[in-house]
């Protein structure tokens, strides 16, 4: 049985992914915390978490947002991704635990957003905004933190289901481009899925016209949910 939800927001707004497009992203608040199996069901139908709410695009004139996932029974990193993973394993320390809100994480979030041109004119996020966006949750949520010589250089916020992990948001120091921390983070979550016996890693939405989303299609094979069905992209 699906837990009850209430709709918090359901209005047209500028699309956060494609310039000039209008989006409809209804945000729904579960009235109870989701179990691991309930969260798996949400991921299966294309839901995404933002704070304590879930959303799924329902845009009037566009279907560009395609949920994308890696099936860990078939996914294999390519040669470049394997090199990135080896380099990250050599130089980075990964810590897995509960999500934390502190000054260094907030500063890293703002640095990543500013240097990658993701701010869209918004003010820098503060601790309350970081907590509301990432660590307040309606499901089980963990944090992977990446450290270079005891310096925090990356954070991955990850939601947990029974058979899947969902990569919610990754923020890192873009000046360390040689480490490709974003790619390394995806592969580290793949490793975590396999260690824990989970089948899928969800990467959110793939949007072909958004330059910040293109990296997701570089992981093969992957699956995308199109017209209500998961389709394989070898």
CA 36 from centroid of its chain's CA atoms = 17
Mean pLDDT confidence for 115-126: 83
For residue 58, pLDDT over 70 is answered with yes
Q: What is the location of CATH 3.40.630.30 in the chain? A: 70-222
For residue 121, pLDDT over 70 is answered with no
For residue 43, pLDDT over 90 is answered with yes
Percent of the chain's residues with pLDDT above 70: 97
In whole angstroms, what is the distance from residue 181 CA to residue 173 CA? Answer: 8
What is the dihedral angle through the alpha carbons of 213, 219, 221, 224, rounded to the nearest 10 degrees?
-20
User: Which residues, listed in sequence order, are joined to residue 124 by a DSSP beta bridge?
Assistant: none
Confidence tier at 3 by pLDDT (50, 70, 90): low
pLDDT of residue 122: 79
For residue 72, pLDDT over 70 is answered with yes
What is the dihedral angle through the alpha carbons of 106, 173, 122, 132, rounded to the nearest 10 degrees?
-40
CA 184 from centroid of its chain's CA atoms = 14
Q: Which residues contact 230 (CB under 8 A, 6 or more apart)?
A: 69, 223, 224
Confidence tier at 118 by pLDDT (50, 70, 90): confident
CATH superfamily, domain at 70-222: Gcn5-related N-acetyltransferase (GNAT) (3.40.630.30)
List the structure tokens of 71: 């099936």
Instruction: Check residue 57 and report its DSSP letter.
Output: -
Task: Tell me the average pLDDT of the chain.
Answer: 96
Q: Is 6 exposed, middle or buried (0-12, 13-18, 19+ CB in 10 A)?
A: exposed
Q: Which residues contact 74 (CB under 8 A, 6 or more apart)?
A: 221
Q: Would you call 191 helix, strand, or coil by DSSP?
A: helix
Mean pLDDT confidence for 191-202: 98
Residues in the chain: 234
**Contact (CB, 8 A) for 167 and 180:** no
Confidence tier at 60 by pLDDT (50, 70, 90): confident
Mean pLDDT confidence for 79-98: 99
pLDDT of residue 226: 97
């Amino acid at each position: 049985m699906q837990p009850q939800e209430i709709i918090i927001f359901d209005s047209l707004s500028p699309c956060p992914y494609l310039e000039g497009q209008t989006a409809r992203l209804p945000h729904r608040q579960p009235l109870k915390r989701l179990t691991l199996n309930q969260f798996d069901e949400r991921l299966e139908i294309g839901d995404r978490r933002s704070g304590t709410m879930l959303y799924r695009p329902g845009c009037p004139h566009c279907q560009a947002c395609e949920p994308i996932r890696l099936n860990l029974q078939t996914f294999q990193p390519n040669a470049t991704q394997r090199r990135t993973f080896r380099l990250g394993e050599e130089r980075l320390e990964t810590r897995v635990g509960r999500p934390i809100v502190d000054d260094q994480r907030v500063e890293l979030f703002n640095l990543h957003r500013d240097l990658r041109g993701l701010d869209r004119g918004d003010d820098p996020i503060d601790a309350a905004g970081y907590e509301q966006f990432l660590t307040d949750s309606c499901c089980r949520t963990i944090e992977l933190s990446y450290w270079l010589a005891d310096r925090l250089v990356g954070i991955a916020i990850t939601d947990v289901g029974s058979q899947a992990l969902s990569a919610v948001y990754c923020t890192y120091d873009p000046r360390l481009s040689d480490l490709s921390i974003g790619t390394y983070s995806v592969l580290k979550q793949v490793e975590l899925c396999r260690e824990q016996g989970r089948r899928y890693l969800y990467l959110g939405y793939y949007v072909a016209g958004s330059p910040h989303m293109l990296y997701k299609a570089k992981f093969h094979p992957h699956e995308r949910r199109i017209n209500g069905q998961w389709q394989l992209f070898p």
